[in-house]
Structure 1
């Protein structure tokens, strides 16, 4: 059970990945994303999650450079976008991301969505990047069980991470069980359901018991479920609050009551039916 913001899970290739990080989806390139990343790093965050399609890799890289924190102390994730999938185009997209970030290597590189008839070729490119030492770990995002099974057939490397929409309304237990069994670390995007759960009476009630807000209750629930979590915020106060989840523990009863909120309800696209 993570006790500190800097605590890490150990991925299936023995690389350490922080349990907690900052997501920068929708953070505007330039000042906004730079301030958010700098704030997070100053507060002790070690993990930053971006993607080519977010359009803010250069700002993330600049903030990392300005932070004065040694590169090896930080864990940086980025992702290949759908229109760049395929073997050669992925290798090219990776170089663009690496240049924008201004980094020699990326800690975790993900396939952003399971683009049909493309993701297996894309994965071969990720395997090459991994073997070349350009990335420390490779994984996927938004993959369902059947996508993972398909990918793992004929692949040399099992994904280290699967980053998916995950929150109390979408707890994806069968997917989580499959990932556990195959030593694929589950990671949550939109852990707060884009703010839709912050007025939930149950989460407010559990929060009052622990002196925490509903967001902190959800993020703690993620961690106790052994799910890496990367809440997005550009507000310094919120970035600090989100990380203030290591000084209390939810009871097994709390955990189950939160699990019971599941409705298999998404705020993002369905990985089996998306058109971008």
Structure 2
């Protein structure tokens, strides 16, 4: 099959699993909504699609693919994303479908912590740290197919206690998702507001292509730039030759990730401190 179909299928599995912060099990905004972001990019054509602030698309990655395949646009947000999905026959759900008690409880805890932190000047320096594990859980998939085509996809509910209407890096092409057959495919997770400032996904491609770094070093350097600005998170990447690069801010959180290759047993990598 194609790399595009592979990343779409992988993301759908993760969106349907309430353990992850995407689709069912997504985190809540400060106002108690689930607002979902997703994007996908085809490395062979540089075509891409994304949805943001979707509230009723069961699988937001299908909404992103719809934007790419059926419209002239790259990113559609809010009511427009839900309307487009419904008009094109995607499965739509009520907000209660996304609800999980774990994520709702996390919202209450985040609100309590922020109220305490806002009482001090220190809050301005440490507020982003509220969104460390278990507040992170964005899902991503990258693939290289037998025809040499790369693809990347990302899906998320964002950050616990985010402002209603906030959009992070996941639906932003070049920030949370990027694919280019001449270099790499990349998906990011973490403090999206900072990933956008680094343009992290494209940065991996640029370091690989123009600084001739291997994909592992390129991923590590992009994550280091995120960390330098106070962010946390991780990157998964694969280059045009099938070499992978995984990097994350190890002192702040771990990152579940893995890889599967034709004819080989899939490998799963556990976060630091996990067995």
TM-score for the superposition, normalised by structure 2? 0.30
The structure carrying a bigger strand percent of its residues is: 2
TM-score for the superposition, normalised by structure 1? 0.30
The structure carrying a bigger helix percent of its residues is: 1
